[in-house]
Amino acid sequence: MQQYQHIRQAAYEANMQLPALGLVIFTFGNVSAADRGLGVFAIKPSGVPYAELSPEKMVIVDFDGKTVEGQLRPSSDTLTHAVLYKHWEDIGGIVHTHSTYATAWAQSQRDIPIYGTTHADHNTIDIPCAPPMHDDMIAGDYEYQTGFQIINTLAERGLSYKEIEMILVGNHAPFTWGATPAKAVYNSAVLESVAQMAYLTESINGNAPRLKDALIKKHFERKHGPNSYYGQ
Amino acid sequence: MQQYQHIRQAAYEANMQLPALGLVIFTFGNVSAADRGLGVFAIKPSGVPYAELSPEKMVIVDFDGKTVEGQLRPSSDTLTHAVLYKHWEDIGGIVHTHSTYATAWAQSQRDIPIYGTTHADHNTIDIPCAPPMHDDMIAGDYEYQTGFQIINTLAERGLSYKEIEMILVGNHAPFTWGATPAKAVYNSAVLESVAQMAYLTESINGNAPRLKDALIKKHFERKHGPNSYYGQ
Amino acid sequence: MQQYQHIRQAAYEANMQLPALGLVIFTFGNVSAADRGLGVFAIKPSGVPYAELSPEKMVIVDFDGKTVEGQLRPSSDTLTHAVLYKHWEDIGGIVHTHSTYATAWAQSQRDIPIYGTTHADHNTIDIPCAPPMHDDMIAGDYEYQTGFQIINTLAERGLSYKEIEMILVGNHAPFTWGATPAKAVYNSAVLESVAQMAYLTESINGNAPRLKDALIKKHFERKHGPNSYYGQ
Amino acid sequence: MQQYQHIRQAAYEANMQLPALGLVIFTFGNVSAADRGLGVFAIKPSGVPYAELSPEKMVIVDFDGKTVEGQLRPSSDTLTHAVLYKHWEDIGGIVHTHSTYATAWAQSQRDIPIYGTTHADHNTIDIPCAPPMHDDMIAGDYEYQTGFQIINTLAERGLSYKEIEMILVGNHAPFTWGATPAKAVYNSAVLESVAQMAYLTESINGNAPRLKDALIKKHFERKHGPNSYYGQ
């Protein structure tokens, strides 16, 4: 059990950030933390309220979705996490929430247009909304297929999971990821904020234009380009 | 008095959850907790602020609405609770609030369409809005008739109170119920969240489609079907 | 100074409720507490942040707006309060805020339609919006005239200040009143809640009907009629 | 280091107000505090979360944007601050946030119309939205040019930085300023509140009229004119 303590702790702390940031109520979300070397991740147990979580309650699962250690049943979304870890070798954390504004966009089945620099500080493109899955994918191994729906949507648009660390699953809700669980949680909060601003922007100006390319490029490169100068 | 202590305590705790969850201000809501064996329920006293409540102040009422024990007058909505307990033999708790988004839908006299999986995790159908009552029902025994309006609306739609644990009373506000008072409070918070997301969904996409049947079925069965795999 | 201590204390406590209820930021509001027998009221000093208030800083003013006691300058809205106390002999408290939703309705220069029972629990009519004042009233003794604008608007509509304890001043913001300062603060919070729900109701259903007369009558009389049965 | 302690402290305190007032999440904002005599300002270090700030971490920069003292890299928006301090000799503090409603208006590329007295208490005109910059300005010294975009927008409209202490930068977000950092933070919170109310006003009444001149004049002069009578 000692060997997994670091990811149990990381998953616990990241899960506790979700209610603190106003991104979940009750049990409507989950975070996982991976150890790529060990080939496993720690994830929230299914249906347990945040106030009752502890590092010890996190469940250890391998990248095929098999429970390796833990007394509790893992999150019902575990297979989605497993698929993404298995196919994307550089991510260390995944978050799923039903945060209000991001979920409303997912229910609207629309990409979130890039309307400003808050968006461009984090992504150079509209935040994609994956279409709802085909009925046979849903009826089959649903959570497993949700992982492939995410992977396929990025592929169809020619996007890498390194370029965009967030997606809406149509009619469902957002998933985000990152190098660490903390980064994935950060991405969930950014997404919620960008989703709210985009909604308000369209309400204030029904003809609001997308951000122009020069600003997209500039803001993204300030934070992420080879000559980035944001942060320490 | 000892024999009712468990439902006094349960009603007290559930009532205190309403302001904690942001579902009420001042005295705009009430929860009751039933003991089916004793044929009574404990309910919030009328017009007493949440900060002044205690288990001892809860009023014990039978399923005909007659006060059995208690110094204070019970909630003005007591007869609505009584009618529901009398007719629905498997419920143990009822909640009434004027929560913002659910009440706005009730005032709009519209069912809340099922737009996403947050909704489908809890209900397979649109959340019904009962039509405003006939004038003679209102002028008569209003709260008593409100109970029947709820029962009749479900009946007209061929719904059981086990299939759907929440309703909007047109022009008024929501009622929710469940096996326990805690579950009924949970349902009130879920309803408020779903109501807000549905409002935002229509604002973002005026032609947003309802959730398709395969997803409704899948998400509901994850949590509630015979092969459910959500939770512990 | 001792003779005014009770209204200083009441005004202080009521003023502190405004930020606690989310109705003001910074110094954007004020409450007064009257002693009808002494013919004076205690009111918040002008421009002093809520965190720096104390009962001793409240200013004592007579019903003509003349300062009777106090080191600080009274609220810039003091003359509006004075006019209302002078003309309405049964009120003991007045509140002015720039709360978000009520102010948005005032800026929209629209009455708030009665869409539901939350509204009817407190008022039987639409919440009136006084038209912006004539330019000469504004250029003259503005705050004094604001009081008359409120009085005249009720008079033109045939309303008593006992029937409706809240009003919007067009392009400006709400005023509320009541038998006590605590009741006037309560009315401000009710108004803000009703204003938000009415806004959402129209957004959800552009053709939402006003509440029908039978429900208006029933809900108001539950709380306020001779046969009221709400509260203790 | 002692000579800069007062502006380090002032900048620290003002920066900490931003999350307390709900104007920023994570690191999405920055405040600077100038000493006009010394010709320098203290500013938030880049990318450091608010919870980790201290007065000692503030970076001292001169009005050409050159770091004078400090171990950390200053905010990526430092050059915008420097340009404004260099050209506007009477300001002592500058704030940049991505607050929700003000940013939504900036993304909408619209001035915020003056709809009520909350607005007029602080400004006599619509809050200007600077157009997005030309591509060559963006590709060049972007933050430096952002300062000039702000200065030029005021100039083109014949406005002084003393008349209006806030602006939206199109597609980006707000900047505010004032005699002190505390006043600049106050202006950011006022802007956010006015931006939310204006959004709601247009939603409630698509034909809401601008505030009439007499009211603009009166409210502004109550607080700011030679005969102002607001405050102590």
Is pLDDT at B143 greater than 90 in this prediction? yes
Token pair belonging to B231? 């939770």
Q: Is residue D121 annotated as a catalytic residue, yes or no?
A: yes
Q: In this complex, is the C-beta atom of D88 within 8 Å of any C-beta atom belonging to chain A?
A: no
pLDDT of C1 above 80 = no
A140 reaches B (C-beta below 8 A): no
The closest of A36, A34, A24, A25 to A58, measured between CA atoms, is A34
Q: Is the pLDDT of residue D1 over 70?
A: no
**What are A116's two structure tokens?**
């400003």
Tell whether the model's pLDDT for residue A52 goes beyond 90.
yes
Average confidence score pLDDT of chain A: 96
Q: A133, exposed or middle or buried, with CB in 10 Å at 0-12, 13-18, 19+? A: buried
What's the confidence (pLDDT) of residue A34?
Answer: 98
pLDDT at B228: 87
Q: Is C144 a residue of the active site? A: no
The reported pLDDT for the residue numbered D35 is 98
Q: Which of C48, C171, C203 to mutate to test the interface with D (most CBs of D within 10 A)?
A: C171
pLDDT tens, C80-99? 999 999 999 999 999 999 99
Rounded Cα distance between C94 and B212, Å, is: 53
Alpha-carbon distance of A135 to C191, in angstroms, equals 47
Residues D95-124 have pLDDT tens digits of 999 999 999 999 999 999 999 999 999 999
Tell me the C-alpha to C-alpha distance, in Å, between residue B45 and each of B12, B59, C189, C227: 10, 6, 22, 18
Q: Write out pLDDT tens, residues B54-77.
A: 999 999 999 999 999 999 999 999
CB B82 within 8 A of CB B64: yes
Confidence of residue A65 (pLDDT cuts 50, 70, 90): very high
Helix-strand-coil split of chain B, %, nearest 5: 45, 15, 40
Contacts 24+ apart (CB under 8 A), B149-157: B150/B80, B150/B84, B150/B175, B151/B83, B151/B84, B151/B87, B151/B88, B153/B128, B154/B128, B157/B128
Residue (of C164, C81, C100) closest to C130 by Cα position? C164
User: C140: which residues sit within 8 A by CB, 6+ positions away?
Assistant: none
Question: How many Cβ contacts (< 8 angstroms) between chains B and C?
Answer: 85
Say which residue the tokens 């912006």 belong to: C132
| Smallest CA–CA distance from B21 into chain A, residue | A25
For A161-207, the pLDDT digits (tens) are: 999 999 999 999 999 999 999 999 999 999 999 999 999 999 999 99
Mean pLDDT of the B97-102 span: 98
C107 has a chain D CB within 8 A of its CB: yes
| pLDDT on residue B225 | 79
Arithmetic mean of pLDDT over chain D: 96
Contacts of the segment B222-227: beta carbons below 8 A, 24+ positions apart: B222/A76, B222/A142, B222/B121, B223/B121, B223/B122
Pick the CATH number of C2-224 from 3.40.920.10, 3.40.225.10, 3.55.50.30, 3.30.950.10: 3.40.225.10
User: From CA A143, how far away is CA A81, in angstroms rounded?
Assistant: 9
State the pLDDT at residue B170.
Answer: 96
Query: Per-residue pLDDT tens for B45-60?
Result: 999 999 999 999 999 9
Average pLDDT over residues B118-137: 95
The catalytic residues of B are 121, 230
Rounded alpha-carbon distances, angstroms, from residue B58 to A88, B30, D162? 56, 11, 60
Question: Residue C61 above 80 pLDDT?
Answer: yes
Pull the structure tokens for residue D9: 């402290």
Confidence of residue D88 (pLDDT cuts 50, 70, 90): very high
Give the model's pLDDT for residue D4.
97
Reported as a pLDDT band with limits 50, 70 and 90, residue D127 is very high
Per domain, the residue ranges of chain A are: 2-224
Q: Best residue in A17, A188, A196, A204 to probe D by mutation, most D CBs within 10 Å?
A: A204
Of A186, A197, A208, the CB nearest to D103: A197
Mean pLDDT value of segment A59-64: 98
**Chain B residues with CB inside 8 Å of C209's CB?**
109
Strand arrangement, sheet containing A166-169: A67-69, A59-62, A40-43, A29-35, A93-97, A174-178, A166-169, A129-130
Percent of chain C with pLDDT over 90: 91
Residues 6-35, chain D, touching A (beta carbon < 8 A): 25-26, 28
DSSP 8-state class, residue B225? S
Which pLDDT score, from 0 to 100, does residue A1 have?
58
User: pLDDT band for position D227 (50/70/90)?
Assistant: confident
Following DSSP, what letter does each residue of D102-117 receive, concatenated?
HHHHHHHT--B---SH
Q: Which residues of D touch C105 (CB under 8 A)?
A: 204
User: Cα(D161)–Cα(A58) distance, rounded to whole angstroms?
Assistant: 55
In chain C, the residue whose alpha carbon lies closest to the alpha carbon of B206 is C204
pLDDT at C94: 98
How many Å from the N-terminal Cα to the C-terminal Cα in chain A?
36
Q: Out of D186, D208, D218, name the one closest to residue C108 (CB).
A: D208
* Band of residue A37 on the pLDDT scale cut at 50, 70, 90: very high
Residue type, A131: P
Average of pLDDT values for B113-120? 97
Nearest residue, CB atoms, A107 vs list B115, B190, B229: B115
ipTM of this complex: 0.96
Distance from CA of C218 to the nearest CA of B (A): 7
CA distances to C8, C55, C58, D104 from C2, rounded to whole Å, are 10, 12, 13, 52
C226 burial (CB, 10 Å; 0-12 / 13-18 / 19+) is exposed
What is the tens place of the pLDDT at every residue in B162-214? 999 999 999 999 999 999 999 999 999 999 999 999 999 999 999 999 999 99
Per-residue pLDDT at B1 exceeds 70: no
Chains that touch D (3 or more CB pairs under 8 A): A, C
B209 touches chain A (CB under 8 A): yes
